Amino acid sequence: MKVSEMAESLLGSHIQRISNEISDLQKQGKKIYNFTVGDFDPKIFPIPELLKEKIIQCYRDDITNYPRINGTPELRESVSRFIKHREHLDYSPEDILIGCGARPIIYAIFQTVLNPGDKVILPVPSWNNNHYTHLARAGRIEVETLPEENFMLRIEQIEPFIKEASLLALCSPQNPTGTAFGEQDLIKIFTRIVEENKMRMNKGIKPLYVMYDQIYWMLSYGATTHFNPVTLIPEMRDYTIFVDGISKVLASTGIRVGWGFGPSGVIDKMKSFISHMGAFAPKAEQIAVAEYLNETNEVNKYIEWIKATINSKLLKIYNGITALKSKGYKVDSIAPQGAIYLTVQFDLHGFKTPSGKALNSTGDITTYLMNEAQLGLVPFYAFGSNQESTWYRLSVGTCRDDDIPVVMEKLEAALSKLS
């Protein structure tokens, strides 16, 4: 059946494909520790009890009609207070747009600031920027980031492309790497963007916008501090569109409440995308989230718990991988800084399995780990890295504490069988 060229070449999610492979193995009765999905097991990470009660109450109160297209005033006011209190960002409720999760906000950003053929600078690995660029019929400038730089983009890497780009897609803490930008690296990037945009303004050219996806920002660990463009360089306010929401920090991926904020002229146009797609967050959820976010003590308690719980799992696995590395196995990991992910390396190309089969590709290694260690991970090529990248994303959203020593044992056994 003929469809548009854009739809014809639109790719599905790689991660979904790996998840399907895992489901098939599980259907055959095989136990798999599935650390592939950027989601939470609600039995391990339930949403805040008070939020749940408030959502149920809103439905009991028959809050079931259309919300305003840019979000209920209650939620936009609540988000405005929330970001002022927690991030010292001053945005009025009119400059905040609510969507059914962060994804429609991201979609609307790409559609709003890009013309067909415009270019987007995106780091690889990164989450889904390739698909949103494709949907906007724009071109990609993919910049491969480096393990020694925690897979975070540097100004030197993007400098050659700044003049031709219309959008820079950034995320911190980052999916898939669980690493975050440092202050000085961001200052260098944004200083250059302000300079570029001054020049563009003089010539009447569309600025280089920055999408700043900070959906994991409240999940930052240890000494990691979260920085944002506008606090660092106030002139960035005219060019920065923020992405945020409750999906990750409140383990509420299925509740579907996200938001964006930025310059009025951009947010106002993005509103129309949300409206025409009907990508509103349900009104009951919006009212419930608005009330919940105002309960500062409850929110603080929940965030403290979820951060400690995620960080402890990330650190246990990180320490386990580091111990395997010190035993001489060809594995490595980057210390976790944020989000729900750990970056792990399996440098196993060329090794032979007990049956004599050589691990020739990342796909072979992924399958070996799945079959022998019962461990499901997502290789970085699923996030745009080159096919031979030896790095993987491990998500702890579905990881039980009891699983960790078992997984480490199975992993060591699987690695020890390679020659």
Ligand X SMILES: Cc1ncc(COP(=O)(O)O)c(C=O)c1O
Residues that bind ligand X (CB under 6 A): 38, 101-103, 127, 171, 175, 213, 215, 245, 247, 253, 258
Residue with Cβ nearer ligand X (171 or 415): 171
Residue closer to ligand X by CB (options 219, 348) is 219
Q: Which strand (E) or helix (H) includes residue 77?
A: helix 73-87
Name which of 243 and 408 has its Cβ closer to ligand X.
Answer: 243
Instruction: Choose between 239 and 242: whose C-beta lies nearer to ligand X.
Output: 242
| The two structure tokens encoding residue 235 | 């002139």
- We find the least distance from the C-beta atom of residue 160 to ligand X, in angstroms, to be 25
Q: State in angstroms the smallest separation of the CB of 215 from ligand X.
A: 4
Tokens of 365: 């290694």
Q: CA-CA distance, 252 to 320, in Å (whole number)?
A: 29
Please, which residue, 78 or 253, has the CB nearer to ligand X?
A: 253
CB of 360 to ligand X, least distance (A): 30
Shortest reach from residue 225's CB to ligand X, in Å? 19
Q: Is there a cis peptide before residue 282, judged by omega within 30 degrees of 0?
A: no
Q: Which helix (H) or strand (E) holds 141?
A: strand 139-144
Whose CB is nearest to ligand X? 101
In the complex, the smallest distance separating the C-beta of residue 339 from ligand X, rounded to whole angstroms, is: 7
Q: Return d(Cα 87, Cα 89) in angstroms, integer.
A: 5
Q: C-beta of 213: minimal distance to ligand X in Å? A: 5
The residue among 74 and 285 lying less far from ligand X, judged by its C-beta, is 285
Minimum CB–partner distance for residue 37 and ligand X (Å): 9
Q: Where are the beta strands (DSSP E) in 13-131?
A: 33-34, 96-99, 119-124
Q: Identify which of residues 10 and 201 has a Cβ nearer to ligand X in the complex.
A: 10
Asked if residues 141 and 121 have their Cβ atoms less than 8 Å apart, the reply is yes
**Cα separations (Å) of 233 from 158, 171, 195?**
18, 17, 12
Q: Are residues 32 and 374 in contact, defined by beta-carbon separation less than 8 angstroms? A: yes
Question: Which string of DSSP letters, residue by residue, matches 194-213?
Answer: HHHHHHHHHHTPPP-EEEEE
Beta strand segments in 64-137, E: 96-99, 119-124
